[in-house]
Amino acid sequence: MLNETLVTFQSANCYYICGVMVNKGNKVYSVFNNKCPRCHEGDFFVNKGSFNFRGFSKMYENCEKCGLSYEQEPGYYFGAMYVSYAINVAIMVSVWVAFLVLAGSEFNVWWMIAVSIVLGLALTPLTFRLSRLSWINFFVKYRGLEK
């Protein structure tokens, strides 16, 4: 999902994300590659790109490779809201720091708030997917495919 921006090199089983090698078995691999948290093989969201605004939220019900149910109980992704909140706070803090660096301490705080809101809304598909994948990765351990 972040392939375009963060992944600089890709081989069969490992990715370099911001220069750090991430192998299968690492939760980061599942979160950033849209993979099942248990086997890291099956896809999690149906659409590959995060910025498909129509279908970015469409998920598979089960992993096509290991059969893990992605909706483990009703309202399972309610808690993903907390992750999403944390990501949005990070966006706001980044915008604030950017304003401080670029405009010094004398800037109109309403511009900062407006930029934060626009950026937050524009990044909603990405935030949504990262928060759901992070949430399920809190609870499901990597096991690989059992043969």
> Does 63 engage in binding with Zn ion (CB under 5 A)?
yes
The DSSP secondary-structure symbol of 35 reads B
Asked if residue 39 binds Zn ion (CB under 5 A), the reply is: yes
Question: Judging by beta carbons within 10 Å of its beta carbon (0-12, 13-18, 19+), is residue 58 exposed, middle or buried?
Answer: exposed
Tokens representing 12 are 């069969």
* Three-class DSSP labels, 89-121: HHHHHHHHHHHHHHHCCCCCHHHHHHHHHHHHH
Give 54 or 141: the residue with its C-beta nearer to Zn ion.
141
Is 66 one of the binding residues for Zn ion (CB under 5 A)?
A: yes
- Using CB under 5 A as the binding rule, whether residue 22 contacts Zn ion is answered as no
Under the binding rule (CB under 5 A), the answer on residue 83 touching Zn ion is no
CB of 38 to Zn ion, least distance (A): 5
In order of 13, 40, 54, 109, 135, the CA distances from 22 in angstroms are 9, 12, 30, 39, 19
Contacts with Zn ion by CB under 5 A: the residue count is: 8
Question: Residue 67 CB, nearest distance to Zn ion (Å)?
Answer: 7
Residue choice 15, 29, 32, 38 for contact with Zn ion (CB under 5 A): 38
In the bound complex, what is the minimum distance in angstroms from residue 60's beta carbon to Zn ion? 10
Closest approach, Cβ 143 to Zn ion, in A, equals 9
Evaluate whether 36 touches 42 at the Cβ level (below 8 Å). Answer: yes
Taking CB under 5 A as the rule, does residue 36 contact Zn ion? yes
DSSP 79: G
> Is 140 near Zn ion (CB under 5 A)?
no
Residues forming the site for Zn ion (CB under 5 A): 36, 38-39, 42, 63, 65-66, 68
